[in-house]
Chain A
């Protein structure tokens, strides 16, 4: 297996910075979008930011524990996607809408 070029010239904190920006973008999407499916996609962005941090720290620490944590995060993301999309489908079947704000039948 050929050796990969080590990213020595790019400091690791840049990866962490990138992950932080990605996480913030995920939060923005979650709060800003009305379409439930896009709201859910924003959560996927946040989870990816988390995974990127795990991998970066793992690389720095020369351990694989972070990789394993990321792997479990992906497993859970898959499970959540299945359940979440099933719930979204049920909601759509009953209401014919995907707008978060309209799903508000309970009074305050």
Chain B
């Protein structure tokens, strides 16, 4: 066996550049945290941010040498690059919105940033995976780091509970995913996505479709847990409510976007030929997810829990796009996930600022009079909420518009009707927040509220700007998404 067979080429390393950068920077941060004194703590956040920016540059470089690398383990195409950049940007917003939070709760910043970078590296691995083994390892890197982040303030009982539930249900879901992978491997003889597709396409070697459908269903259960789709969404409200607010923002966007990326890639690339088998259960899950998310959100009094249910509902809209399993469906899902990430992080950034030390103020009624006391922040929160409803001129509007158009193109009329009705229901609970902010007399919670810290200001303004830009010039992102979606085959 010549040694040269074992050595990857330089191009292979370039295709894997973002992950390498994130890993190295994460390790350096931990090292500096150990040797540097208290004085240098703020520098670690800057370093993590610089690492993320470098990784964004790395993703662009990787796209320059697109293709598969490391014996078909990774694939770098527009789709992978889109999701890599999306999770990296989510990471940047999370870092800027968490610096003040960590200070306030007297938590250790170095390890937080290192774990965040590892988690994002795992999500980048997922985005560029071309092999079920890479999907699995990426998913686990991302999850294990997120379990810890969810329980980062380990003396806080809510954090404990959040981490425990996330961990137990996450591992349970992974077992289902793996059992599905085992069956895919047994039936097709490969875990490479393109190879699985090839086997399914050739009639003479095509495996038993009942078994293949079961394998797809088992994998769907695993993914459904990760994207919090019904009926596997029960963990999400407790986990998002209990975790530190910036981490909830991260968990409800980053891992979710990456999980949808692999979901789309596995089901459209590998299982594309048996779409008629998996379409019914994704269809059912999409409807159930939208209804459960929206109707449960109606009665919530805790803002974090409300946003958690709204996050479930939004996963339902993306599932509508997945059900369409067409090119424009994929592009719509990509656009929606990007638009959703900004409005969700923006809303959570406001909650992070508003909740104060120990997250004391997280009730809807606490927001009373915010419009009077802090008009600027209230206006920003209004933008995010309007975008979550899907009002024109915001990213959320075009996201929903493209998704329902894709669904209609694929003749999913009922799904579209139910989705639209759900959007109307959703408007109620988002508008209720706006009404409380502007119409109610200021209460005790808005008294003595401090100014927004610089980091949070960047996060809030950045997210608001991105939400508006996506709503006014959607083609900036949509064109790229449309071109990349065609590649997912």
A83–B174 alpha-carbon span in the complex (Å): 15
A36–B168 alpha-carbon span in the complex (Å): 9
- Chain A positions within 8 Å of B186 at CB level: 16, 53, 56-57, 60-61, 66
The answer, among A50, A72, A90, A105, for a CB contact under 8 Å with B154, is: A90
Any chain A CB within 8 A of the CB of B425?
no
A56–B183 alpha-carbon span in the complex (Å): 11
CB distance from B382 to the nearest CB of A (A): 27
CB distance from B165 to the nearest CB of A (A): 8
- Chain B positions within 8 Å of A106 at CB level: 158, 161, 237-238, 241-242, 305
0/1 interface trace, chain A 37-73, chain B, CB 8 Å (1 if under): 0011001001101100110110011010110110011
* Pair A83/B178 contact, Cβ less than 8 Å: no
A54–B158 alpha-carbon span in the complex (Å): 38
Q: Report B219-246 residues with CB < 8 Å from chain A CB.
A: 237-238, 241-242
Any chain A CB within 8 A of the CB of B64?
no
* Pair B161/A90 contact, Cβ less than 8 Å: no
A56–B160 alpha-carbon span in the complex (Å): 39
The answer to whether A94 and B305 touch (CB under 8 A), given A57-B185, A76-B137, is: no
* Pair B167/A69 contact, Cβ less than 8 Å: no
A103–B165 alpha-carbon span in the complex (Å): 9
* Pair B148/A90 contact, Cβ less than 8 Å: no
A103–B171 alpha-carbon span in the complex (Å): 18
CB distance from A46 to the nearest CB of B (A): 4
Any chain B CB within 8 A of the CB of A34?
no
Any chain B CB within 8 A of the CB of A21?
no
* Pair B185/A103 contact, Cβ less than 8 Å: no
* Pair B140/A76 contact, Cβ less than 8 Å: yes
* Pair B172/A91 contact, Cβ less than 8 Å: no
A30–B302 alpha-carbon span in the complex (Å): 29
0/1 interface trace, chain B 295-334, chain A, CB 8 Å (1 if under): 0000000100100000000000000000000000000000
The answer to whether A43 and B175 touch (CB under 8 A), given A69-B191, A83-B144, is: yes
The answer, among A46, A72, A84, A91, for a CB contact under 8 Å with B133, is: A72
- Chain B positions within 8 Å of A104 at CB level: 161
CB distance from A59 to the nearest CB of B (A): 10
The answer, among B140, B147, B183, B305, for a CB contact under 8 Å with A87, is: B147
Any chain A CB within 8 A of the CB of B287?
no
A63–B189 alpha-carbon span in the complex (Å): 9
Any chain A CB within 8 A of the CB of B378?
no
A69–B186 alpha-carbon span in the complex (Å): 12
The answer to whether A39 and B137 touch (CB under 8 A), given A60-B186, A66-B185, is: no
* Pair A69/B181 contact, Cβ less than 8 Å: yes
* Pair A95/B157 contact, Cβ less than 8 Å: yes
Any chain B CB within 8 A of the CB of A1?
no
Q: Report B180-234 residues with CB < 8 Å from chain A CB.
A: 181-183, 185-186, 189-191
CB distance from B181 to the nearest CB of A (A): 7
Closest residue on chain B to residue A43 by CB atoms: B171
The answer to whether A83 and B167 touch (CB under 8 A), given A23-B179, A106-B242, is: yes
* Pair A72/B242 contact, Cβ less than 8 Å: no
- Chain A positions within 8 Å of B191 at CB level: 65, 69
7 pairs across A/B with beta carbons < 8 Å?
A16-B186, A26-B175, A46-B175, A50-B178, A66-B185, A72-B136, A90-B154
Across chains A and B, which 5 residue pairs bring their CB atoms closest together, nearest first?
Answer: A57-B186, A46-B175, A53-B182, A50-B178, A91-B160
**15 additional contacts (CB under 8 A) given A76-B136, A94-B154:** A36-B164, A43-B168, A46-B172, A46-B175, A46-B179, A50-B178, A69-B133, A69-B185, A72-B137, A84-B147, A87-B163, A87-B164, A91-B164, A95-B160, A106-B241
